[in-house]
Amino acid sequence: MPHRFELIPMPASREPATLLAVDRAVSEIRRGRFVAIRGAGGTAVLALAAEGATPETLSQLSAASHSRLSLMITARRAAVLELVQAAINPVHLSFESELTADAVQALADPLAEVSLKNLHIKAVETERYSGNCASVGLAKIARLLPVTVVAPLEDPNADDLAAWTARHNILLVDAGDIFQYEHTSARRLTIVSEASVPLLDAEESRVIAFRPVDGGLEHIAIIIGNPAQSDDAVLARIHSECFTGDLLGSLRCDCGDQLRGAIQEIATAGNGVLLYLAQEGRGIGLVNKLRAYTLQDRGFDTLDANEQLGFDADERVYLPAAQMLRQLGFTKIRLMTNNPEKVETMMRCGVEVTEQVSHAFPSNEHNEAYLNTKAARLGHQF
């Protein structure tokens, strides 16, 4: 197959720098450190992921900020805890007494026992587009539980925020960069390598790796046969990675069957493309997916388990898929999926879907309830 998938030049911008700042902030909070988030009007908050909350880190956060600690959780998690009924924006919790690491863990982790009356919650308020809200988005990008400990920066010596954070060795990131991260990352995807990789059911195949310019998560395109870059719609499958199903052969889902089945079907058709997106667990990450499995074993279905953790039922973003198709020269696809919402989303991303191609496989005793939930609550068509 000829080498013809070339990078489409993109205009220069400050996007690489903004991506790098968010990636560095992700690294910090995954290590249990706090970061400074600059909001509108010169405001700033210090934020720590709930999973990094210990008596020591909470003490350090309080001392650095010169303010009282509070908590940010998603509207989904707040609803599960019966703190709100119909919110869509992150929820800010303040407390009558000092916030402890045990209280943080109880509010963040649905696998922990929680008694709200013992947590002395003072106020429950929804917020939008603030530094506090951005901290929850940062935790999601980091694939951590979407709960953060926050404190407004009230140090009287912090008038020059950049200088203050540099002096205290605290990473500074803009709230707006966090809010735009996933869209910016998708726009900055570039082809970084490709090679011929004969597959078991499709020997004439090439694997093409895409990476955002900051070196973030890589997505893969598998080109089978020699699909023409023309006005004809190419047969395509957009597949989110599933370590347990794709690699281990888990019977809890149908992902492995869908991946191998798509390769076989595209090879039988003669040519097509499979996009393999780095969005494990419908975008919540492998660790959180395993937490969701534990909740499912306790009686929750796949959607409710995600929401218990504080996530939406589906956290995936399909802009990377649209960008990859654009760079490969495909503007029209015949999409192999059982999910009508995926068709609509790709259309909104500028990709014309000329046909929804059924892509269903027999259930087993372990995934039958999972598939029934997808049909009943997500509208999947099997």
DSSP states along 309-335:
TT--S-----HHHHHHHHHHT--EEEE
Are 163 and 236 members of one domain? no
Q: Residue 300 in contact with residue 200, Cβ under 8 Å?
A: no
Q: Which one, of 227, 312, 315, lies nearest residue 275 by Cα?
A: 227
Report the half-sphere exposure of 147 (CA within 13 A, side-chain side): 26
Query: What's the maximum distance between 2 C-alpha atoms anywhere in the chain?
Result: 68
Which helix (H) or strand (E) covers residue 224, if one does? Answer: strand 219-224
Which of 150, 179, 208 lies at the terminal end of a domain, its last residue? 179
291 lies in some domain: no
What is the mean pLDDT of the segment spanning 322-328? Answer: 95
- Please indicate, yes or no, if residue 301 is contained in any of the structural domains: no
**187-72-113 Cα angle (round to 5):** 120
pLDDT band at 9 (very low <50, low <70, confident <90, very high): very low
pLDDT at 310 over 80: yes
Q: Same structural domain for residues 358 and 256?
A: yes
- 96 shares a domain with 202: no
Average pLDDT, the chain: 91
Quickly state the pLDDT bin for 168 (edges 50, 70, 90).
Answer: very high
The answer to whether residue 235 scores a pLDDT higher than 90 is yes
Q: Return the closest-CA partner of residue 83 out of 125, 144, 134, 139.
A: 125
pLDDT tens by residue, 49-80:
999 999 999 999 999 999 999 999 999 999 99
> What are the phi and psi torsion angles at 259 (to 5°)?
-65, -55
- β-pairing, 70-73 vs 91-95, is antiparallel
What CA–CA distance (Å, rounded) separates 168 from 97?
Answer: 27
Residues 48 and 112 in one domain: yes
Residue 5 is predicted with a pLDDT of: 40
Is 6 part of a structural domain of the chain? Answer: no
> Looking at the predicted structure, is the pLDDT value of residue 372 above 90?
no
- Whether residues 269 and 374 share a domain: the answer is yes
pLDDT at 12 over 70: no
pLDDT exceeds cutoff 90 at 231:
no
89 and 228 assigned to the same domain: no
Q: Is the pTM of this model over 0.95?
A: no
For residue 44, the domain's CATH number is 3.90.870.10
Give the type of residue at 377: R
**In the β-sheet with 352-357, what is the strand arrangement from edge to edge?**
189-196, 205-212, 219-224, 272-277, 234-240, 332-336, 352-357
How far apart, in Å, do the first and last CA atoms of the chain sit?
35
Is residue 286 in a domain? no
pLDDT for the residue numbered 230 = 66
Residue 296 counted as domain residue: no
- Distance of alpha carbon 114 from alpha carbon 110, whole angstroms: 8
The boundaries of the domain holding residue 58 are 15-179
At residue 30, the 3 state secondary structure works out as helix
Higher pLDDT, 129 or 254: 254
The answer to whether residue 300 is domain-embedded is: no
Which of residues 124, 155, 179 is at a domain's end? 179
- Does residue 272 sit in the same domain as residue 130? no
Q: Distance between CA atoms of 31 and 49, rounded to whole angstroms?
A: 9
- Identify the CATH number of the domain in which residue 239 sits: 3.40.50.10990
Convert the pLDDT of each residue in 126-156 to its tens digit: 988 889 999 999 999 999 999 999 999 999 9
Q: Write down the pLDDT at residue 7.
A: 39
The whole-number pLDDT of residue 244 equals 97
Residue-wise pLDDT tens digits, 263-293: 999 999 999 999 999 999 999 999 999 999 9
Residue that finishes a domain, picked among 179, 202, 236: 179
**14 burial type by CB count under 10 A (0-12 exposed, 13-18 middle, 19+ buried):** exposed
Same-domain check for residues 248 and 371: yes
Residues 215 and 239 reside in one and the same domain: yes
Q: Is the pLDDT score of 96 beyond 90?
A: yes
Does residue 85 sit in the same domain as residue 205?
Answer: no
DSSP 252-305: SSSHHHHHHHHHHHHHHHS-EEEEEES-HHHHT-HHHHHHHHHHHHTT--HHHH
The verdict on residue 302 lying in a domain is no
The structural domain count of the chain equals: 2
82 domain-assigned: yes
Segment 31-46 shows an average pLDDT of 94
pLDDT at 14: 57
Any idea which residues carry the catalytic annotation?
A: 314, 316
Query: Do 198 and 174 belong to one domain?
Result: no
Q: What is the mean pLDDT of residues 187-212?
A: 95
Among residues of the chain, what percentage have pLDDT more than 90? Answer: 78
* Share above pLDDT 70 across residues of the chain, in percent, rounded to a whole number: 95
In this structure, the answer to whether residues 23 and 128 fall within a common structural domain is yes
